[in-house]
Structure 1
Amino acid sequence: MHDIPITFNGRPRRYIWEYRGSENEILGYVARFDADGKKDVVPYFQRVNGHGWNSGSPAKPRPLFGLQILARAEPDEPIYVVEGEKAAAALQSLGLIAVTSQGGSQASSKSDWKSLAGQKHIYILPDNDEAGEAYARETVAILAGLENPPVISIVRLPNLSHGGDIVDWIAAYVEDALLEWDGFKPVPESGIDIQALLREFKKEIDAHAVPAPAEWESTSQANADWDTPISLESAPLPAWPNDVFPSKIQDFVTALSASTETPPELAALLVLAAISSAAQGKYKVQVKTDYSEPVNIWVCVALPPGSRKTAVQQAATAPLTAWERRQQEDLGPKMKQAASEYESLAARIKQLRKDAGQASDSEFKELKEKIAEAEAELPEIPTAPQVWAQDVTPENLGSLMATNDERMAILSDESGIFDILAGRYSNGIPNLDLFLQGHAGSPVKVNRSSRPAIVMYSPALTLGLSPQPEVLRGLIDTPSFRGRGLLGRFLYALPYSNLGYRTLDRSPMHPNYRAGYEATLTHILDHELPDSDDDASPPYMLKLTIEAAKKWQSFALSVEAGMREGGMYDHLTDWAGKFPGAVIRVAALLHIARYADTGPWKKDIGAEDMEAALRMAEVLSVHALAVFDLMGADPALDGARLVLRWIKREGKSEFTFRDCHQAHKSRYKRAKELDPIIDVLIERHFIRQRVEKVAHRPSRVFEVNPAVLSNS
């Protein structure tokens, strides 16, 4: 039903709690795994397919546990807030309205408590330890700040051991009735008087309930005239869509992600790069009469070491490697025969030249003609086609592309290609031309004295990279990377890492999924260019249906608007300007894969594949913001985080501009460099300015939103 693993870190699964919404819909699960006195409580809120879930907390603000029960509560019914799903479920099994937040004692502020607004009375039952008290205090501050806040009481149950909670209190009552209860399943109804238990519970509530301390609510009152701060962090990453590829490809992507326990973004984008590797150079998309796009793409998925990126890449590229091997085997005899003929003729030519050097004038003329005839008969030695490489210099890349129909893919789970582009082999001088031309499909002419000239009229280069996040952090420091548009050409993903939450016992992928994926890519690799009277055959020119074109045009206009000052992409215009074109390429690749065995050139790209590409684009745009944020693409935002950390570290309820500059002089030499940073903090409601006169000289004083320090 839920596909939650039966073990985690070698510990068996003990219990699963369902998180449901107010309409009783499933939102996710929290599972407990325990053995030998140790436990893991793991959330599963990331959908991976129609039936399964990946580990990971829900996006903030997180839903409460018990929303479906709370939805049925009357305003005057008492609501009980406890710490942990186990405690809430125990009270719920008694017919009481009980809720808790997801994530433990330090995660109250990450949850959405607005559903408790308008309730008459809320009782908070803290665990009997410091963490329980802290949880209660933080929750009181949140509830007191709700619109139409409830009356809040704190109930510290008596006779609890250190760390004890309501489950221990109920367990003691059950044991007195000589019954067994593990604390996880509902409280047993047989053999125990539930109504008597409820009366005893109500008696303890009445005896020990005390009003929430006024100072606990003071944080909320202090915040009353402040707007809630807008986070300086990137927006939460949305779930990756699980229905974007044609069925054979989607089945493989989903199964690959599940079997390797890797984020779905990794498998999806590396597979998309593999499709691009097979199709590039053979297809273009005619968007308008004067505008076309090639179908090769660049993708970059950043994950930390140990994330099994290599395993995913090997699976994604396996059909490409298998096709290359078959071509090598088929061409082997022809290559050997041609090489043998070449060596024989070369030896004859060498001997003729030797004879010509000692011949008379009349003999020389005859030998010269024989040499020319022999040279004309020299066979061209065929080379087996190569689809992709991993580590290649720009110079070698040009030669590779020239001998492989002007196409090549670089697919790697390492970051070496960025070092090469930055000038590892060119004395630190970035060498980007061929890469940029290969992405755009613009002609290439390379003339060097030490190498044969390379001329390509329509080069196509695919990149599929999966470096570590730290690699991305430093890319923007190479000015030409961004200034010349290199970084703006990638489709990025920065998935949440699930390291530490994997089960390490997932079943292998079913062979049928691999077979379906390999068959699709093999069909694409076998596609021949259309016949042409010219020596160089043009690629197939795909077109959009009217409906697909309208959907793309609407999307492109929304991206265009986002590049205005203050818009979503105002600091990413280099990337956003190329984003609509990248989406065209993705839609084309989905179309090519869908009709790989029947001929993609026979149909126009339809609304189905365009809509799928746009669903990807919706997620990829958020990932791009996160990646460029990681790179420090917006200096003001990056600086705002630095100043905010200083405010929290120093516990400043207010500060002067002069103080702030003094504390950050090592990074910001001139005071005016801080102005845009202060503006960001003001715009996002972290601080506000109060102008005062100090010794006849105006001084900029800033008050700090109390919520900043209460959450530090």
Structure 2
Amino acid sequence: MTRQTHDHAAEQAVLGAALLAPHVVGDLAATLNPEDFHRPAHAVLWQILIDRHAAGQPVDPITIAAYLTESGDLGKVGGAAYLHTLMQATPSAANASHYAGIVADHARRRQVVELGAQLAQLATSGADVADVVAAGRSMLDTATGGGWPTLIPLGTGRHLPAFPAEALPGWVADMAFAVAEFTQTPVDAAGSIALAALSTAAGGRAEVEVRGSWREPTNLYTVVVLPPGSRKSAVFAAMIGPLLDAERRLVELARPAIVEAELAAKVAGKTAERAANAAASSDDRGALLAEASAAAQEAAEVIVPALPQLVADDITSETAAALLAAQGGRLAVLSPEGGIFATIAGRYSGTPNLEVFLKGHAGDMMRVGRLSRDANHVDRPALTLGLAVQPEILRDIAQMPGFRGLGLLARLLFAVPVNTVGWRNVDVDPVPASVAATYAANLTTLVLTLADWTDPAVLPLTPDANARVLDIQRAVEPRLRPGGPWGHIVDWGSKYTGAVVRIAGLIHLGEHLRDGWGKPIDAATLDRAALIGEYYAAHALAAFDDMGADPTTRNAETILGWIERTGTTAFTKRDLYRAVKSAQFANVADLDGPLGVLDAHGYVRQLDPPARSAKGGRPPSPSYLVHPDVHRPAGTVHALDAHRRAA
């Protein structure tokens, strides 16, 4: 009979005893760590209890519930009702140490199981037998108290959450999941591009009214970071194809009016020309000149509409500005490549031109110069960006003049998903025809419904939704302080709440395709947008860390990514080199620096090398053990780290 390595009832009893008799927390904290709890919510709550007890703060249920509500963590531990469940599940607070002993014993058993798995993996990896024996001794030391150090994060790029596509409108979520499955790409790519597609349909045609004069347009800048060969183009084709069909539909609808306007312009031009000729050949020019002037003015006032265009690809800043003016302030730049960054950085002109991309996001009035006419105004430009870039381009744009200082990077919603290449299933079903048809029909409906709005539709918030926005603002503000979690990306963090509001507007319009402009945005929609916002916040931290990381740290992150993807718990240096050999790691020696970084941060531990054989021969490859926390559920690691930073 296999014995379980956890006892949730004992964990509940420990926490319930602490809430019933707070004085026991100090005694139990000496022997019971948060990591000893099997259930992540229990680990988070125990960390909070011991931190508050150490600070001399009360740990009764009422104050703990209030603290968790303020920090936004109440839902992570099961809500206020669960605190009372914990107390009711405690037979006697006097037996707290006994319950703690049970929890600690199970934690040691799990540790032994993990260490045994590491030893088994090392034994089958081809490592030298003496190395395996040395590993066993090291594991025994660890299991009996040697322990592992607390992980020192390399950055926030590890354990990143997956895109919560379920928060999108149902028909959009269905398409995103189906495309991700068929292309065998992370859902992050399809989800982010889906948001860009919604932004293309609604951008410039709707604004969210938060409070007072604060309004947020419904256009976004999304950037997915994936390496070459990850099928970015296939995802783009599936997600934006319906937009191109909708664009053709708009052209068909507009063509009669364009033909009529062209004819009117031609007639007015001929009339003005005849009047001018008559005035030129007459001795009595006064009245004829007045007629010619009026005819010329009438001809100049005839405006021929441009053919509708929703989507552009790799264009210059000047072309983007001209298209925005021609298209009534709405345009999307959607591309599976990131060449546009080099273009706007001055690839052709030698001078960066970011104005259209800065004002196109904010909706600030923009003057557009034309060769044959006076400068035009674009009162509310609404530019959408939906791009997929390679990691190298992400690092390059951080160095491009003005991109950070002028605020372009602060406007980007980054998605940095795990690359699935090498772990893809080649035998998958295509996107169901019904899912693709519904997505195409609904996206086209949204485009056509909003196409005729010249002044943006105003989407108000319900009182409860406005309260949600205030909650987000209150939670964000402390993060922006110097030394806070977002202190080094304060430019991006300052725009976070606005981004969540914009996403809420897009979800709302996607849920109400034909009459979204006539309904307020409710609190549930804000909550869904906030879930997506949290995703982008985590990925923004990773993206900015990667943009600022030195090459050795980036290489260490690459190795750590391999460890996580493969579930490796022990490995030899030779095995690692075979797995990651590339231009990045051309020689075995290229692993030394990154492995040293991982060792210094506690992610891996090098085993003592076995004694060299007296017969000589090739020395054994160095062997490493992996910190168990690397493979722990991401929610546990994140929640504990977040609480410790806050504390």
Normalising TM by the smaller chain, what interval? 0.5 to 0.7
Correspondence 1:316-327 to 2 at 5 A: 316-327=239-250
Q: Distance in 1 between matches of 2:112 and 2:430?
A: 51
1:116 aligned partner: 110
Contact 1:324 1:384 in 2 (8 A): no
1:575 aligned partner: 492
Equivalent position SS for 2:389:
coil
1:662 aligned partner: none
Partner residue of 1:621 out of 530, 534, 537:
537
Partner residue of 2:201 out of 271, 278, 281:
278
Equivalent position SS for 1:574:
helix
User: How has the CA–CA distance of structure 1 residues 227 and 420 changed in structure 2, closer, same or farther, with 3 Å as cutoff?
Assistant: same
Equivalent position SS for 1:130:
coil
User: How has the CA–CA distance of structure 1 residues 279 and 145 changed in structure 2, closer, same or farther, with 3 Å as cutoff?
Assistant: farther
User: How has the CA–CA distance of structure 1 residues 313 and 346 changed in structure 2, closer, same or farther, with 3 Å as cutoff?
Assistant: same
Which is strand-richer, 1 or 2?
1
Q: Give the C-alpha shift of residue 127 in structure 1.
A: 4.7
1:296 maps to 2:219: yes
User: How has the CA–CA distance of structure 1 residues 143 and 555 changed in structure 2, closer, same or farther, with 3 Å as cutoff?
Assistant: farther
Q: Distance in 2 between matches of 1:575 and 1:129?
A: 44
Partner residue of 2:330 out of 407, 422, 447:
407
2:160 aligned partner: 237
TM-score, structure 2 as length reference? 0.64
2:49 aligned partner: none
Q: Distance in 2 between matches of 1:141 and 1:544?
A: 62
Post-superposition Cα deviations, 1:129-178, rounded to whole Å, max 9, x if no partner, equal: 733748845753663244546xxxxxxxxxxxxxxxxxxxxxxxxxxxxx
2:253 aligned partner: 330
2:353 aligned partner: 431
The amino acid across from 2:462 in the alignment is T
User: How has the CA–CA distance of structure 1 residues 143 and 548 changed in structure 2, closer, same or farther, with 3 Å as cutoff?
Assistant: farther
Q: Distance in 1 between matches of 2:467 and 2:550?
A: 33
Contact 2:226 2:388 in 1 (8 A): yes
Q: Distance in 1 between matches of 2:124 and 2:278?
A: 104
1:385 maps to 2:308: yes
2:377 aligned partner: 455
The amino acid across from 1:566 in the alignment is G
User: How has the CA–CA distance of structure 1 residues 528 and 230 changed in structure 2, closer, same or farther, with 3 Å as cutoff?
Assistant: closer
2:472 aligned partner: 555
Q: Distance in 2 between matches of 1:489 and 1:573?
A: 12
Equivalent position SS for 1:464:
strand
Which is helix-richer, 1 or 2?
2
Kindly, what percent of the aligned residue pairs are identical? 35
User: How has the CA–CA distance of structure 1 residues 514 and 529 changed in structure 2, closer, same or farther, with 3 Å as cutoff?
Assistant: closer
Partner residue of 2:463 out of 538, 546, 568:
546
Q: Give the C-alpha shift of residue 21 in structure 1.
A: 9.6
Q: Distance in 1 between matches of 2:403 and 2:367?
A: 22
Partner residue of 2:265 out of 342, 353, 356:
342
Q: Distance in 1 between matches of 2:124 and 2:308?
A: 70
Equivalent position SS for 1:481:
coil
Q: Give the C-alpha shift of residue 574 in structure 1.
A: 1.0
2:83 aligned partner: none
Correspondence 1:497-576 to 2 at 5 A: 497-528=419-450, 538-576=455-493
1:595 maps to 2:512: yes
User: How has the CA–CA distance of structure 1 residues 355 and 544 changed in structure 2, closer, same or farther, with 3 Å as cutoff?
Assistant: closer
Q: Distance in 1 between matches of 2:410 and 2:214?
A: 19
Contact 1:232 1:641 in 2 (8 A): yes
The amino acid across from 1:490 in the alignment is L
Contact 2:222 2:387 in 1 (8 A): yes
Equivalent position SS for 2:537:
helix
1:632 aligned partner: 548
Q: Give the C-alpha shift of residue 637 in structure 1.
A: 7.7
1:416 maps to 2:346: no
Equivalent position SS for 1:293:
strand
Post-superposition Cα deviations, 1:403-453, rounded to whole Å, max 9, x if no partner, equal: 2121111111111211122122332x2111121111111112345777630
1:314 aligned partner: 237
1:442 maps to 2:364: yes
Q: Distance in 1 between matches of 2:141 and 2:334?
A: 52
Post-superposition Cα deviations, 1:90-146, rounded to whole Å, max 9, x if no partner, equal: xxxxxxxxxxxxxxxxxxxxxx99543478x97966757733748845753663244
Contact 1:476 1:633 in 2 (8 A): no
User: How has the CA–CA distance of structure 1 residues 136 and 282 changed in structure 2, closer, same or farther, with 3 Å as cutoff?
Assistant: same
Q: Give the C-alpha shift of residue 495 in structure 1.
A: 0.8
Q: Distance in 2 between matches of 1:132 and 1:637?
A: 29
User: How has the CA–CA distance of structure 1 residues 507 and 337 changed in structure 2, closer, same or farther, with 3 Å as cutoff?
Assistant: same
Q: Distance in 1 between matches of 2:297 and 2:445?
A: 39
Q: Distance in 2 between matches of 1:114 and 1:497?
A: 34
Contact 1:529 1:540 in 2 (8 A): no
> Any stretches of 5+ residues in structure 2 without a counterpart?
9-34, 39-105, 559-572, 574-596, 604-621, 628-647
Correspondence 1:165-204 to 2 at 5 A: none
Contact 2:165 2:191 in 1 (8 A): no
Contact 2:220 2:361 in 1 (8 A): yes
User: How has the CA–CA distance of structure 1 residues 22 and 682 changed in structure 2, closer, same or farther, with 3 Å as cutoff?
Assistant: closer
User: How has the CA–CA distance of structure 1 residues 449 and 559 changed in structure 2, closer, same or farther, with 3 Å as cutoff?
Assistant: same
Post-superposition Cα deviations, 1:673-701, rounded to whole Å, max 9, x if no partner, equal: xxxxxxx9999679xxxxxxxxxxxxxxx
TM-score, structure 1 as length reference? 0.59
The amino acid across from 1:421 in the alignment is I
Contact 2:279 2:292 in 1 (8 A): no
Contact 1:398 1:454 in 2 (8 A): no
Q: Distance in 2 between matches of 1:141 and 1:561?
A: 46
User: How has the CA–CA distance of structure 1 residues 373 and 610 changed in structure 2, closer, same or farther, with 3 Å as cutoff?
Assistant: same
The amino acid across from 2:127 in the alignment is A
The amino acid across from 1:551 in the alignment is R
Post-superposition Cα deviations, 1:463-512, rounded to whole Å, max 9, x if no partner, equal: 11111111001111124100111101111011111112223332211121
Q: Distance in 1 between matches of 2:124 and 2:349?
A: 65
Q: Distance in 2 between matches of 1:311 and 1:621?
A: 26
Equivalent position SS for 1:509:
coil
Equivalent position SS for 1:361:
coil
Partner residue of 1:482 out of 380, 386, 404:
404
The amino acid across from 2:504 in the alignment is A
1:397 aligned partner: 320
Correspondence 1:353-372 to 2 at 5 A: 353-354=276-277, 356-357=279-280, 359-362=281-284, 365-366=287-288, 369-370=291-292, 372=294
Contact 1:529 1:538 in 2 (8 A): no
2:139 aligned partner: 143
Q: Distance in 2 between matches of 1:623 and 1:142?
A: 36
Q: Distance in 2 between matches of 1:122 and 1:369?
A: 98
Greater relative contact order (Cα < 8 A, sep 6+): 2
Q: Give the C-alpha shift of residue 571 in structure 1.
A: 1.0
Q: Distance in 1 between matches of 2:543 and 2:384?
A: 20
Q: Distance in 1 between matches of 2:133 and 2:483?
A: 38
The amino acid across from 2:439 in the alignment is Y
2:502 aligned partner: 585
1:29 aligned partner: none
Q: Give the C-alpha shift of residue 622 in structure 1.
A: 1.7
1:266 maps to 2:260: no
Q: Distance in 1 between matches of 2:316 and 2:125?
A: 61
Contact 2:272 2:295 in 1 (8 A): no
Aligned residue pairs total: 471
1:465 aligned partner: 387
2:520 aligned partner: 604
Contact 2:278 2:288 in 1 (8 A): no
Q: Distance in 1 between matches of 2:521 and 2:501?
A: 10
